């Protein structure tokens, strides 16, 4: 509760692109974050709105925080939601931010099409094992999945894997590492997620934020 007796709202964000791209939406709702996460070491950031605070968590931890009520709301990539599962999360809005795609990439000298046609078993390194498993199963391609937590681009260069499943935005990282995108699995953007109990208990302030975000997203896309 705030000193005024109103329910406070905690919003979980991850540092970097999600934080940066959520700021204009907050601003439209009259909420300014009072500290720069790149400069401060604080994990709880006050805002200009006495009832709203921001907590900084790892991108892949946002759904967990919101699911268990450590935060009332959060912003998280569709990739993270699919990989993590979205049980118990209300997803009212696609915010159309932090856009990218999830793709399959291989070394430019690797003949992916022939390997697939011949039914070869592929070694695939990824952070997104569930998305990759589902994609290759649907395609009827046999894969050995290798779970990594970062720098996926390195795997084909070192012989750890034939292919990677990773996020691509400009494609510059692939190009710099002599990799090529051979399949586009799905387009990704970030969603607003809300704890279902919080939505009932703090309905009014949460609805108000959702409404402003929705209007701002709509205005930006027209
Ligand atoms: O970095 P950390 O391990 O802490 O966590 P994270 O990688 O999960 O977080 P973060 O902040 O990097 O990404 C959060 C979310 O942003 C992701 O879950 C996506 O929904 C979204 N997003 C949008 C992206 C990108 N674009 C993106 N380009 N996330 C990661 N990337 C990576 C990409 O994988 C590549 O390695 O950025 C690199 C550069 O991409 P190019 O193609 O522009 O060169
Ligand atoms: Mg990252």
Looking at the CA of 173, name the nearest ligand.
1
Report whether residue 58 contacts ligand 1, using a CB cutoff of 6 Å.
Answer: yes
CATH of 9-98+189-221, one of 1.10.10.410, 3.40.190.10, 3.40.50.1220, 2.40.30.10: 3.40.190.10
Parallel, antiparallel, or unpaired for β 52-56 and 9-13? parallel
Percent of the chain's residues with pLDDT above 70: 97
Do 9-98+189-221 and 100-187 share a fold? yes
Exposed, middle or buried, 158 (CB in 10 Å: 0-12/13-18/19+)?
exposed
Is the per-residue pLDDT at 7 higher than 90? no
Report whether residue 18 contacts ligand 1, using a CB cutoff of 6 Å.
Answer: yes
What secondary structure letter does DSSP report for 161?
A: -
Ligand 1 pocket: which of 17, 21, 64, 91 to mutate (most atoms within 8 A of CB): 17
As beta bridge partners, residue 45 has 54
Is the per-residue pLDDT at 2 higher than 90? no
Q: Residue 121 C-alpha to ligand 2 middle, in angstroms? A: 28
Torsion sign, CA atoms 195, 44, 61, 19: positive
Q: Residue 157 C-alpha to ligand 2 middle, in angstroms? A: 19
Predicted confidence (pLDDT) per residue in 68-127, tens digit: 999 999 999 999 999 999 999 999 999 999 999 999 999 999 999 999 999 999 999 999
Report whether residue 176 contacts ligand 1, using a CB cutoff of 6 Å.
Answer: no
Average pLDDT over residues 127-143: 98
172, HSE (Cβ side, Cα atoms, 13 Å) = 1
* Cβ neighbour number for residue 61 with a 10 Å cutoff: 18
Query: Residue ranges per domain, the chain?
Result: 9-98+189-221, 100-187
Q: Residue 91 C-alpha to ligand 1 middle, in angstroms? A: 21
Superfamily of the domain at 100-187: Periplasmic binding protein-like II (3.40.190.10)
Is the per-residue pLDDT at 1 higher than 90? no
What's the rounded Cα separation, in Å, for the pair 85 and 83? 6
Report whether residue 60 contacts ligand 1, using a CB cutoff of 6 Å.
Answer: yes
Phi, psi (deg, nearest 5) at residue 133: -60, -50
Q: Are residues 98 and 115 in contact, defined by beta-carbon separation less than 8 angstroms?
A: no
pLDDT of residue 3: 64
Give residue 200's pLDDT band: very low, low, confident or very high (50, 70, 90).
Answer: very high
pTM of the model as a whole: 0.95
What's the rounded Cα separation, in Å, for the pair 98 and 48? 24
């Amino acid at each position: 509760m705030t000193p005024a007796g109103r329910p406070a709202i905690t919003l979980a964000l991850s540092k970097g692109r999600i934080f940066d791209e959520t700021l204009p939406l907050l601003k439209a709702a009259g909420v300014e974050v009072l500290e720069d996460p790149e400069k401060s070491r604080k994990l709880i950031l006050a805002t200009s709105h006495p009832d709203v605070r921001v907590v900084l968590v790892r991108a892949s931890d946002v759904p967990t925080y919101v699911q268990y009520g450590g935060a009332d709301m959060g912003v998280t990539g569709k990739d993270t939601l699919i990989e993590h599962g979205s049980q118990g999360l209300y997803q009212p809005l696609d915010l159309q931010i932090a856009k990218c795609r999830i793709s399959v990439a291989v070394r430019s000298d690797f003949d992916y099409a022939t390997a697939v046609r011949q039914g070869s078993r592929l070694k695939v390194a990824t952070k997104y094992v569930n998305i990759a498993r589902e994609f290759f199963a649907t395609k009827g391609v046999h894969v050995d999945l290798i779970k990594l937590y970062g720098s996926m681009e390195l795997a084909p260069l070192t012989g750890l894997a034939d292919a990677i499943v990773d996020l691509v935005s400009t494609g510059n990282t692939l190009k710099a590492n002599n990799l090529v995108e051979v399949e586009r699995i799905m387009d990704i953007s970030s969603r607003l997620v809300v704890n279902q109990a919080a939505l009932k208990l703090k309905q009014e302030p949460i609805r108000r934020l959702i409404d402003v975000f929705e209007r701002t997203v709509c205005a930006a896309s027209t």
